Each structure stands twice: as C-alpha cells, then as structure tokens.
Structure 1
C-alpha cells in the first residue's frame, strides 16, 4: 500500500505549478461613513482566489444529503462551515465532486499538498482531524472504486470541509472576522467558500496579475519567511555588544565589533562575503546603509548603538513580524485596487503616492503618539484647503488651551487664536498648527493630512508625535500632485494660495483613495524586506491570537 506522505512529497512539478494562491494587500474603493461614530465599520469587499488546474466538475454520482448533518455533528471544528457545505452541494444537485468514476480526483492530491504546506504561509495550525483525514485519503487511494461501488461520503465531506478551512486561513485570513477588535478599519476581504470551490472545480488555466501590488507584497514576505527560518536553523546570528565611549565607529576605524557586524550583515543578506576583518571600510559602509534604510534609520557613515540595537533583534522576532503582517495582508481585498492611491504606513512614518500601482513619489510623515493613535482606515481625498484655520479639538481645548488661558490672559492672542461660536480656532498663517495647507478625506475619525510649522520632527527616525492626524513633510508637492488634473492650479497659484492668509477650499477634480495602514514588515521597491518598530504595540497580540 502506498504511503500518504510519499504521495504528498512526490507531486510532479506541473502539479505544483498549477497551485496558485492569490492573496491580498492594499485595495478598497470604499469610503468611510460620514455619520459620527467612534469607529466606522469598514466596508467588506467580495473577492475570489483560485487554485489553478484541470479539475472535474460534479461527477454525476448522487450523494446522500442526510449524511451531512451527522458528519458535522461529529466534527465540531467544522461547525462554522455547515451553511457553506449545504449551499455548495445544493448548487451541485447533491453530487460528489471530489470523485469521478475511477476514484478520487486530481484536486484532492493538490489540496493535500497545500494543507501540508500551510506553514509556508505563516499558518501554524495543524490540519483538523489530521489523522482521520489522512487515513481516509490513504484508504481511498489504495482501494479506488470497484464494481460500481459508491464513493465514500465521509471522505467526500472531509475534503470539502478541509478545503473551506484552508480557504479561510490562507485566502481570507484566520482572524479576518476579528480585525475590528484589533483596531483595523480598512475594508476587508469576504470570501464565498462555495463559489470559490465551484470555480476551482471548473477552472482552466488562469494567470494571476503578477503586477498586482497585493501579490507582489505577499509573495515577497512569503519568500522572506523561508529565508529567515533558514537563518534560524543555522543558529549563526550573534549578539553584538553596545559601544562604549566613543559610542560611534567611523570609516577606517578598527574594532572587534566591526567583525561581528560584518558577520551579521552577511548572514542576513545585506552583503556578499565582505572582504576584510575588523576595519570599517567602504564595502562595509555600503552594507550598513542598506541595513539602515530597510530598518527605518537614516543613512550614515557611522556605526552607532541605534544600528546595533536593530541588528540584535532576534531572528525569531523577525519571523513573527513577517507572519503577523502576512495575516494583515490576507484581510485586504486585492480586486478593487486603484491605479492611483495614497498609502500612509504608520510604523514606517511614510506617505507613498502610487500611480499605475507603483510608487511615483513619497515623503516622511508624523503620526499619532501611542496615546493618540492614528486610526487604521480608508477614505477618498476630496479637498485641498489652503491657508486653513485650525479648529482646535475639544480634548485639546480642555487639556491645553483652558489651562494656558488660566496662566496667561493673553494666551489666545499670543497663539493667534480666537473664539468661534463657543469653540477655539487658530488663524491662518505660517505658524498655524496645520501649516499652510491641509488635505481632507471626510471621515468619522476627523483625521486628515496637513502641513506643520514643526519641520524639525521630520528628521527624527521615529515620528509618532501628533494628536492623531498625519503631518506631511512635503505638503506643497502633495498639493501639486493632487491638483494636476485641474490645469488652472499651477505651482505658482498653489504657492500664492498657501501664503494668502485667507482660507480657501478647493474640490479635487479627481478623488484619490487614501489608505492608512499598519505594516511593521513589508517589501520595498528594490525587493528588500523592511522591518519597523511596532510603535502601537499591536504585533504581539496578533501573534498570540494566530497561534491559539
């Protein structure tokens, strides 16, 4: 009798090429509600993913539908899929789908292979009822259908339930339905498992959109996960001691620490076999700066303790970062991604402007402090406001303005503020807290992008300083880009409006999607995996939920 595990490991290359998982990253055309509520529910978007292959449709062999309830009752881990199982078989007139006249179909082999490799996608769950499942497959594989005997209904239903569970974890996201409890309000993918399986059963060859940013990001992280797991197995990472006085090493300096840094950079793939030993040479400086950029540090021709701190993060921690961000990617639908959109990544403190689904421009941003977190959500950019008033939020009036007025009767005048219908606003001007321009995408969270007079903060590596809104380091360039669809708004006119001292609203001729996301690990335009600090401390909780 053939061994099941040998069947799994001996798939042909053509079989595995047929197995394609289409996953997701940034999308959603949904716009948040304008109704005032604490956190608007994100719009769910339907999308599909396909295993690609030449599969048989329903076999024409009738199935006893009364057996479904007993199957699920005996396997409570599949209870959530009960309505999907009934819906799927009803649409197939209660026929077997995993069998043909000769026995189990090709799709069952491919599904087994994918189930045995879910760890490659960062999913650590074991297969539900794994031992029984493999016994059923083994028995059916060796016996087949003889003398017109009926297919085994338990095997049939087990394959369907295993498929739905796989689709949920790998394509939909294991924690998709809990995303809002994790403060994630971007639109989320919603799969119809019966429709998905039906398409898999009937699909011919279909090539995914390899230029889709969702697929590129996910595949990049999947490859990175394998690389970092290989590094973990090597157990070759070292702990680099912190520098004492002087707390920096410069070009041509020598130190035993440099030898360790050279070893670590080679191990993690930031350089090939670097020549030299304990001397800080130009080849090492190039590798150091590549590491700095991919870890959110400014380029610098020195080795300091901020660099060493990032290099000492355990490889197990980096693996966890990759896994939790792969899960976040699985939540987001890929099928409605726009060619042009704005992405603010909170942990990276960056704004990226995409055109033709590629980064065309970007700049640094300042986001909310851990006490005043910037919300993860999406909206449609509709207005540019030049020389804006700043309408001070009630919380800031209560915590800062009123105490300031008690200390100084001229507080409002000194800060160019005035009462406005019982509230406080700051007059337009270069010292206005919103700077010379703000960018509005209406939302219930009252979050927007804006200029700021506090330019020095953009030079910091970690930029979580705001009350929740997003400060933009290059607002003039953002205004020019957003208004380029209106030929009347030249750069000169934009400059004049920014410095006019009179508030002016401009409605965009083309509304642009804005996504405020949270990714502590991602692929950059050079195909390098990037890591960032978990500024709002959300990774650990997500990881704990994934491994439960």
Structure 2
C-alpha cells in the first residue's frame, strides 16, 4: 500500500540550524549547587530520576538558564510554549506537578527551586517527546528493532546555549502523524461523532433509510464529505465517501453498507486519536541511522505488506501472510544472507509433534503422500510444488527461527486479514523478489533462477552483500499529502502500549 511504500526510507531532516551562540543572561543570580539539587529532589521526588542530569548540567553551568531580569528568559518562554502544546506531540500523560508548573509560569519568580523545577520539566519534555519509553518498555511491547541511544545530558547542554531550545530530529513519519493528530484533535474537541445504531439491514446504492443520514453526518465529521446534506438517500457522493473511508480504515470497498463497515465507523474519534499517539511513540523508537541505508526490505505486520528498496526507492511491493495470534511474527531486524531455491522444509519439532504426527498416526500414508521424509531424526518435506515453503526461502539467521518464503497456497493472499502462519512470513511475490535480488547480487538471469526453482534438490545462493530486513508494527501510517491509514491491531499491542503511556 502506498502509505507504507515510504517505510524507513525518507528521513526529513528537521535538524538544528546553525545559529549565533545565545548570550547567557547577565542578571546575577546565586549559583546552583549539589546540596540545593538534593533538597529540591526531596521535595519533588517525581523528578528524582533526573538527579544525575541536573548535577551534570549545573556543574558545567551553575547559573540560571530560565530567568533573566526577574522574569522568564527567552528559552524559558520557549519552554512554556512547548509545555502548553505538549499534547500536539501525542503526549497525554500527566505532567509532573502540573499545578505548580502553571503557577510558576504565572508568577515567573526566579529562585533556585524554580530554576531546578524548570530544568526538570525540560528533562521530562525531552525524554517524553524525543526519547519515548526506555528500551525495556519497547521490548515489553515485543519491539526488538534496534534503537538509538540518546544522550540527554549532552543534548540539553547544547540546546540550552541558544535561544530557541533546538530540538533533535525524529523518524520522518512522526511529523506526518503529528499533522493527522492535529486534525483528529480538532474533531474530538468539537465533540467527535455519534454512534450509529445498526439494525442488521443491508443497504445498497440507491436505497433510502434514516441510518443513511447518520452515516452521512459521521463521514462529514471526518471531512470525507464536503457538506452534510442530511439526505436519507444512498447516492453517489455518499458511495465515494464510503470508499474513501474504507481506504483510511483498511477495509475492502463494500458493495453495500454492512455490519463490518458500521462497526468500523463506530470506532470513537478519541480512539483514533489514541491510535495515532501510540504510533507516534513507536516512531520515537526508530533510529535516524536508517537514512543511510540504501537497500533493504521493510515489512509492516498490521498492513500485511512488504516493500523492497534499492537506492532508497521502492522497487517491489508484495502482500504477505504473518503469524497467527498464538504464533505471532516478531518485531525485529536481521540480514538476508542467502536465498534457497527449491528448499526443503525442515519441520519444527513443535509442528512435527503437535500437528503432523497425530495425523500420521491415524493415516499411515500421510507422510509419504505429502512427500515427507526423515533426515537425522528430523522430519522434512522434499522440494517441489507441494512444499510448504514453495519455491524459495530467504534466510536471515535469527534466534526466532523466522524467515521469508514462498507458498503453494496463494489463495490466502486475497484475504484482507492475512494472519495464518506459525510466525514465518509468506510472500506473495517471493519468486519475483528472489529473481530481482539474485540478478542484482550475482547477475543471475530470471531463466536461471526459474530453472533452479524447479529442481529436485535445493540450490543455495549466498549473497555477496547481505540485505537488511526490518519487521515493524505500525497500526497508523500517514503520507506526505496528509492522508492517514489505520490498520487492525491484530496482536492487541496498541492497547498494551496505550496502557503504559496513558495509565495515569
């Protein structure tokens, strides 16, 4: 899908513009010492995690940052504006000591305590907006893609030397989602949309019913209709708006209004807002180093899609089938080191013992009929059109024993929800992908690759240059035109992450 075609390729450089050094306030205030920091943290224990940052900061710059001439300095005003608008960054958890902060911004009375308070608030802002959950938190969500370590102290030390509180860059998708977040915040602040009562009636274009008016109002709220005519008629304008909605919601374009469509339309606006914020958090976990990678494969589990990039541009897209709820595909990265044509399927012992052998015990010819054989005590399936891996297997060594492969059952790719595997990833265009990679890597022609795919024994091609592969989990994705798409949270990760982010 088009929104996902840009996954992990374009990093918009919202970098720091070189500026003249900020002149520190000339107003003489007492210096900040370690004893004052300790006393402050005793009074405000929610900031205790920032003790080392505060000590390091004020050991280098012991005077005040946030005040000058008995009022907030320029960067103090910037911080106030940032905190006033922190919800625009998809941050909705309570700000520590929010009431005291509001009073401080009103009074603007300089003191050591107020200075340390604002430094702690800035540390909170930086950590929450630019770092996100710690690695332990993202791994608790099953996210094992590499993360970039951000040195808070060194960044803040440099950021406080200019009058704009310069900010680090994030994964470009963050900024696109932030635009969509603003649009849904506006919808929520205006009251959202009403729930639509459904009486199991199926409605087709040309029909007329009171529920049509409710659907029309709902789509107008999401700005998919230019105006709300309040008509009861299922006309062409409504049909086009429903088609647009289905693209947003990841639904098949329906021929009629049915229960699936109505259940999706009834997802509250604040739930959509929460989904965007959760995915903005995931963007905080994506390292900017991806901008230097020219050739790789990216897979998004909820959208059931794969994109192969070369020289930073998409050269192949494909539908994929991912793991079932009980055998989830893991979010992680690796490097494709080899491609096996006409592979054996070395059956995992869990599948052998729990699925295949119980059938074979009841049907003695099952193994031979399905071309299974024993090799060194392990069950494997011979190469051929019946093989569960199809004609090709992409190997990227990992402890999860996950790989990409072809399939002899292409019919499942026509399904909208494609979570059927034991954890590995089936690729609809596996043959095309193998041909493209082997042409680029070893100069093999499509005919040569096709011939190897039909052999009775495997052919292993070790790649000269390994190809990075990234398996991610995004349930919302926005494009450069402001269009957003939502994908089903098939592994219920959003609710868990939302609980961690907004539990208070």
Aligned match of 2:277 = 323
119, 122, 127: which one aligns with 2:90: 122
Does residue 132 of the first structure (1) align with residue 100 of the second (2)? yes
1:3-42 equivalences under 5 Å are none
TM-score normalised according to structure 1 size: 0.81
User: Shift of the alpha carbon at 1:534?
Assistant: 1.4
The aligned counterpart of 1:86 is 55
Q: Provide closer, same or farther for how the CA distance between residues 349 and 232 of structure 1 changes in structure 2, counting only shifts above 3 A.
A: same
CA offset at residue 48 of structure 1? 11
CA distance in 2, matches of 1:139, 1:296: 50
Aligned to 1:229: 185
**Within 5 Å, which residues of 2 pair with 1:240-389?**
240-242=196-198, 244=200, 247=202, 249-273=203-227, 277-337=231-291, 338-355=293-310, 357=312, 359-389=314-344
What pairs up with 1:119-518 in 2 under 5 angstroms? 119-140=87-108, 152-174=111-133, 176-202=135-161, 214-215=171-172, 217-235=173-191, 237-242=193-198, 244=200, 247=202, 249-273=203-227, 277-337=231-291, 338-355=293-310, 357=312, 359-486=314-441, 488-518=443-473
1:434 and 1:450 in contact (8 A); partners too: yes
| Deviation for aligned residue 1:105 | 2.7
Over 3 Å counting, the alpha-carbon distance change for 1:540 and 1:205 in structure 2 is closer
Could you give the per-residue CA deviations for residues 481-513 of structure 1, whole angstroms, max 9, x where no partner exists? 333423622222222222223211212333322
Residue-by-residue CA offset, 1:446-478 (whole Å, 9 max, x unaligned): 111111111111111111110001111111222
> Structure 1 residues 284 and 162, CA, compared in 2 at 3 Å: closer, same or farther?
same
Counterpart of 1:461 in 2: which secondary structure?
coil
Q: In 1, distance between residues paired with 2:162 and 2:213?
A: 55
1:48–1:335: structure 2 CA closer, same or farther, 3 Å change rule? farther
* CA pair 104-252 structure 1, distance change in 2 beyond 3 A: closer
Structure 1 segment 94-105 matched on structure 2, within 5 A? 94-99=62-67, 104-105=72-73
CA distance in 2 between counterparts of 1:257 and 1:104 reads 55
Deviations 1:47-66 (A, max 9, x none): 99769976626669654343
The total of aligned residue pairs comes to 491
Structure-2 change in CA distance of 1:293 and 1:502 (3 Å): farther
Partner-residue secondary structure (3-state), 1:367: strand
The alignment partner of 2:440 has SS state of coil
Compared CA separation, residues 414 and 376, structure 1 to 2 (3 A): same
Q: Which runs of 5+ in 1 are unaligned?
A: 1-24, 29-46, 142-150
Residue aligning to 1:16: none
Q: For 1:354 and 1:243, locate their aligned partners in 2 and report how far apart those are by CA, in whole Å.
A: 47
Whether the 8 Å contact between 1:48 and 1:191 is mirrored in structure 2 is: no
Q: SS of 2:160's equivalent? A: helix
* Alpha-carbon distance between aligned partners in 1 of 2:246 and 2:35, rounded to the nearest angstrom: 62
Deviation of 1:520 (Å):
1.4
- Local SS of the residue matching 2:148: strand
Q: Distance in 1 between matches of 2:205 and 2:61?
A: 74
Judged with a 3 Å threshold, the aligned counterparts in structure 2 of structure 1 residues 207 and 233 are, in CA distance, closer, same or farther, namely: closer
Q: Deviations over 1:97-118 (max 9, x none)?
A: 4456786431111011111211
Whole-Å separation in 2 of the counterparts to 1:110 and 1:52: 18
**Aligned mates of 1:335, 1:463 — CA distance in 2:** 31
1:72 Cα offset (Å): 1.7
1:275 CA displacement = 6.8
**DSSP-derived class of the 2:379 partner:** strand
Q: Secondary structure at the match of 1:425?
A: strand
In structure 1, the partner of 2:3 is: none
Partners of 1:206 and 1:96 in 2: how far apart? 15
Deviation at 1:191, TM superposition (A): 1.9
Query: Is 2:78 aligned against 1:110?
Result: yes
Equivalent position SS for 1:479? helix
Gaps of at least 5 residues in structure 2 are 1-5
Deviation at 1:377, TM superposition (A): 0.9
CA gap of 1:545–1:289, structure 2 versus 1, over 3 A, is same
- Checking the alignment, whether the CA contact within 8 Å between 1:55 and 1:106 is kept in structure 2 is no
| 1: CA distance, partners of 2:104 / 2:186 | 33
Q: CA deviation at 1:315?
A: 1.7
Q: Distance in 1 between matches of 2:408 and 2:16?
A: 50
Paired with 1:242 and 1:55, the residues of 2 have a C-alpha distance of 62
Deviation at 1:436, TM superposition (A): 0.6
1:190 is paired with a residue whose SS is coil
Q: Which sits farther off after the overlay, 504-513 or 97-106? A: 97-106
Normalised to the residue count of structure 2, the TM-score between the two structures is 0.88
Cα distance in 2 for residues equivalent to 1:108 and 1:209:
18
Q: Displacement, 1:173?
A: 0.8
Equivalent pair of 2:295/2:310 in contact (CA under 8 Å): yes
Q: d(CA) in 1 for partners of 2:435 and 2:168? A: 31
Q: CA offsets, 1:164-204, max 9 Å, x none?
A: 11111111114554111121111223221111112212358
Relative to structure 1, is the Cα distance of residues 451 and 527 closer, same or farther in structure 2, using a 3 angstrom cutoff? Answer: farther
